[in-house]
Amino acid sequence: MPSVTIDRRFCGPPSSANGGYFSGVLAAVAGASVAVRLLKPPPLDVPLEVLERGEGVVELRLGEELVGQTRPNRIPAPTVRPPTYVEAVQASQHYIGFDHHPFPTCFVCGPQRKRGDGLRIFPGALNGRDAVAAPWVADESLAAADGKVRSEFMWAALDCPGWLAALTDARVALLGELTAHIDRRVRIGDRCLVVGWRAGGSGRKHEARTALYDEDEVLCAYASAIWIEPRGAAPPTA
């Protein structure tokens, strides 16, 4: 049976995969426009069995346990006006994760990750807008053979900004489902920006949208996510 293994570098919480990266890996296996549902925290450094069910449905299993599953899904492109790169840089300076972060070693938004290791996407509130934004310059370790960013890393980049848009106090929440659409992959070294905004929700369930733009402020990818607050999670502390 084919399998995939999530390297420890790509963690979200210390002992499980970043949800966006994991979703991108699973979507690449499906080879279609899909929603990825996470049924349990994806383990690291463990082979996960790949089962292709057809019609865009792929399962990743650890023994008898279903870890993640895809289903065909499409989402509309956002119509929001992107900020400028300078505005994204200014917003990022107020990233709440610099003061407190439940998972400071997260591959995408962890402030303890060094350049060339994590993505270092630090979304902060945009001045005068109900949204967050951050700049992002992809390093060479994220490149495919054609010199562009591999699709799973673009899925990852679209992940955490939605968390900060939906839960502005950076309280603990886990990705439940992610649908992403990539129009075109960005180039290594481009000065990109990522935007996130709340899209609804109630109780412990939160919905968010995210979008990724290249250095010409052209929309390259976008996503829709569902975030779930675990029962009994402690409130954020500085």
Nearest to 149, CA basis, from 44, 45, 76, 220: 220
Residue 19 has pLDDT above 50, yes or no: yes
In a domain? residue 161? yes
Whole-Å CA distances, 170 to 132, 173, 217? 12, 8, 27
CA pseudo-torsion sign 48, 14, 209, 66: positive
Q: Is residue 77 part of a domain?
A: no
Same domain, 51 and 105: no
For the segment 104-138, what is each residue's pLDDT rounded down to a tens digit? 999 999 999 999 999 999 999 999 899 999 999 99
Domain identity same for 68 and 97: no
Domain identity same for 89 and 38:
no
What share of the chain in percent tops pLDDT 70?
97
The total of other beta-carbon atoms located within 10 Å of residue 10's CB is 24
What would the mean pLDDT of 29-45 be, rounded to a whole number? 94
Q: Of all helices (H) and strands (E), which one includes residue 200?
A: strand 192-202
Domain-located, residue 237: no
pLDDT, mean of residues 20-35? 94
Asked if residue 78 is part of any domain, the answer here is: no
Task: Output the pLDDT for position 238.
Answer: 46
> Predicted confidence band at 102 (pLDDT cuts at 50, 70, 90)?
very high
Within this chain, do residues 24 and 89 fall inside the same structural domain, yes or no?
no
Domain identity same for 113 and 204: yes
For residue 138, with 0-12 CB atoms within 10 Å meaning exposed, 13-18 middle and 19 or more buried, which class applies? buried
Residue 236 belongs to some domain of the structure:
no
pLDDT category of residue 32 using cuts at 50, 70 and 90? confident
Contact 56, 34 (CB under 8 A): yes
Question: Do 192 and 114 fall into the same domain?
Answer: yes
Give the model's pLDDT for residue 231.
84
Which DSSP helix (H) or strand (E) runs through 52?
strand 47-54
The residue among 50, 72, 94 that closes a domain is 72
Domain boundary among 72, 95, 129: 72
Domain boundary among 42, 72, 102: 72
> Whole domain around residue 108: which residue ranges?
85-228
10/121 same-domain check: no
* Residues 26 and 92 reside in one and the same domain: no
Nearest to 82 by CA among 199, 211, 208: 211
Residues near 103 by beta carbon (within 8 Å), at least 6 away in sequence: 11, 12, 13, 14, 110
146 plus 179 within the same structural domain = yes
DSSP secondary structure code for residue 26 in this structure: H
Nearest to 132 by CA among 82, 78, 182, 79: 82
d(CA 156, CA 142): 11
Q: Is the pLDDT of residue 237 over 80?
A: no
Hunting for tokens 């499409």 — which residue is that? 74
> What total of structural domains would you count in the chain?
2
Same domain flag for 104 and 199: yes
Helix or strand or coil: residue 152?
A: helix
- Give the pLDDT score at 236: 53
Question: Are residues 171 and 213 located together in one domain of the fold?
Answer: yes
pLDDT at 1 over 70: no
Tokens representing 223 are: 């996503």
pLDDT above 80 (res 234): no
Question: Does one domain contain both 117 and 208?
Answer: yes
- 238 inside domain: no
- Residue 166 sits in a domain of what CATH number? 3.10.129.10
Q: Which residues have a Cβ under 8 Å from the Cβ of 216 and sit 6 or more positions away? A: none
